Amino acid sequence: GMTNRQSGSTLNVVTEPPSTSSSTFSSDSNSEPWSPTSWRNKNVAQPPNYLDEDELEAAVSKLGRCSPLVFAGEVRTLHEQLARACSGQGFLLMGGDCAEAFGEFNVDHVRDSFRVLLQMALVLTFGSAMPVIKVGRMAGQFAKPRSEPDEERDGVTLPSYRGDIINSEEFTEEARRHNPWNMVEAYHQSAQTLNILRAFSTGGYADISRLHAWNLDFVEQTDEGSRYRTFATKVDESLRFMKAIGVDTSSPAFTKTDFFTAHECLLLPYEQALTRLDSTTGKWYDCSSHMLWVGERTRQLDGAHLEFCRGINNPLGVKISDKCTPEELIQIIDTMNPQNIPGRLTIIVRMGAEKLRKNLPGLIRAVQREGKSVLWISDPVHGNTRKTKNGYKTRDFDNIRAELRAFFDVHDEMGSHPGGVHLEMTGEDVTECIGGLSDVTEESLAKRYNTYCDPRLNGAQALELAFLIAERMRS
């Protein structure tokens, strides 16, 4: 993570020998040679449509000469922490915007997301009594898959908005053109975001003695704010106690934090350009982000996205809806993690509470039967998106909570570890999701509906969810 650990240090990732028992669904696709460009021989779902090949080549070549955004040693640190979480010793907290945007970039926005994640992590650590791994959907979360390739307005049809790394939201022909130079701009914004995150995570901001100062200004006035305040006072007491018995609370464990980044591995020319050979291990790492996940719409077994991911040594995730059968899941696991390395693969479940109760047990059973090591986490937001009468995409806090409850219930029944949560959220006081203790209603959505894509939990709603999860894990 972004502590002062050297990127070149040799950190042992816990590995296990590949299972000798032949798996029912094993595929042999993994013996094929891999390179950062081998994905080009496969079918690309949700492809960008760059009209000028030379322009694309120029942009990719420019990115290829840019410095890595993250370093292999950091990636291995994350992998080690995820490996421990796989065995029940850890909880993964992932969160951030649905889509980062050029127009929304500023230091305060990054800081606000960072500090609400810090607050949530503290609450979760207290509740679960296990390490919480903090990963921001940040510094690269730009590209979006869309259900419709085109959008029509008043008889005019243009390509859909695909995220600022591909095109722009404005409804004009030039804005909607897929522009490869947007990748270079996204890279530079990501570099700035990472620089801010590195400073905040290691430069004193994350010092646990400052936990009162992490309370967000607008949250302060809410029930969640005062609840956090009470909680922070309790943690303060524990810190005073530790100090009194001689624990050095000025050591890095108290003053710095590991903070990692992740985004959807969607735009393959960008990912390819930032994929580098690590000099310490001779292995490939995608240095655009510590962790990458493949989305629900691009996880085809014979597709380009799984092909690209299988060759990089970053920890990976894959989104799973109710459309995924147990057989398919095992094949995905065999492709993305053929050596069954703990911590390499996180299954991000997103199907809505009802479907989850019906489908997740079978998926877990298959994974247990095949002896696969994965980290199960819940994305309780993507299966709960709906459109209001006045045309806003929104999510109800109650549905999000219901899906989380179902996720924990099923893992309890199956004896597996509910290993984390993946949220679309922001530290800001937006009005995009409805309910919770917040007073956001269908009628007030218009007030501060700022998202570039899916609706996000605001800071108070995100914190409320963290308290609910912490309570569940404590009992």
Output the 3-class SS for 162-214.
Answer: CCCCCCCCCCCHHHHCCCCHHHHHHHHHHHHHHHHHHHHHHCCCCCHHHHHHH
- Was 454 annotated as part of a binding site? yes
Question: How far from each other are the two terminal CA atoms of the chain, in whole angstroms?
Answer: 30
CB atoms under 10 Å from CB of 54, counted, come to 9
C-alpha count within 13 angstroms, C-beta hemisphere, residue 384: 28
Greatest Cα pair distance, the chain, in angstroms, is 73
Q: Which of 97, 334, 370, 454 binds Mn ion (CB under 5 A)?
A: 454
Q: Contact letters (x/-) for ligand PEP, 241-270, by CB under 6 A?
A: -----------------------x------
Least distance CB 205 / Mn ion (angstroms): 28
Q: Which does 145 bind (CB under 5 to 8 A by kind): Mn ion, ligand PEP, none?
A: ligand PEP
Which CB atom, from 310 or from 350, has the smaller least distance to ligand PEP?
350
Which CB atom, from 136 or from 295, has the smaller least distance to ligand PEP?
295
Q: Which does 290 bind (CB under 5 to 8 A by kind): Mn ion, ligand PEP, none?
A: none
CA distances from 173 to 49, 147, 156, 169, 214 (A): 14, 20, 10, 11, 43
| Count of chain residues binding Mn ion (CB under 5 A) | 2
Least distance CB 122 / ligand PEP (angstroms): 25
SS3 content of the chain, % helix, strand, coil (to 5): 40, 15, 45
Residues composing the chain: 475
Helix, strand or coil for residue 245? Answer: coil
- Was 382 annotated as part of a binding site? yes
Q: Which of 145, 195, 235, 322 binds ligand PEP (CB under 6 A)?
A: 145
Q: Which does 350 bind (CB under 5 to 8 A by kind): Mn ion, ligand PEP, none?
A: ligand PEP
- Among residues 93, 84, 76, 97, which one has the least CA distance to residue 133? 93
Which CB atom, from 122 or from 349, has the smaller least distance to Mn ion?
349
Q: Which residue has the tokens 């108290």?
A: 254
- Was 296 annotated as part of a binding site? yes
Q: Which residue has the tokens 């081998």?
A: 38
Which CB atom, from 219 or from 262, has the smaller least distance to ligand PEP?
262
- Was 350 annotated as part of a binding site? yes
For the four alpha carbons of 390, 395, 396 and 402, in that order, the dihedral sign comes to positive
Q: Binding to ligand PEP by residue 324, rule CB under 6 A?
A: no
Q: Which does 319 bind (CB under 5 to 8 A by kind): ligand PEP, Mn ion, none?
A: ligand PEP
Least distance CB 20 / ligand PEP (angstroms): 34
Q: Binding to ligand PEP by residue 134, rule CB under 6 A?
A: no
CB atoms under 10 Å from CB of 22, counted, come to 6
On whether the CB atoms of residues 35 and 107 are closer than 8 A, the answer is no
Q: Binding to Mn ion by residue 98, rule CB under 5 A?
A: yes
**Which residues within the stretch 151-170 sit at the binding site for Mn ion (CB under 5 A)?**
none
Which CB atom, from 109 or from 422, has the smaller least distance to ligand PEP?
422
Q: How far is 473 from 420, CA to CA, in rounded Å?
A: 11
Q: Binding to ligand PEP by residue 162, rule CB under 6 A?
A: no
On whether the CB atoms of residues 200 and 2 are closer than 8 A, the answer is no
Which CB atom, from 68 or from 145, has the smaller least distance to ligand PEP?
145
Q: Binding to ligand PEP by residue 98, rule CB under 6 A?
A: yes
Q: Which of 176, 382, 395, 401 binds ligand PEP (CB under 6 A)?
A: 382
Residue nearest to ligand PEP (CB): 295
**Where does this chain bind Mn ion (CB under 5 A)?**
98, 454
**Where does this chain bind ligand PEP (CB under 6 A)?**
98, 145, 264, 295-297, 319, 350, 382, 454
Per the annotation, binding residues for phosphoenolpyruvate are 137, 296-297, 319, 350
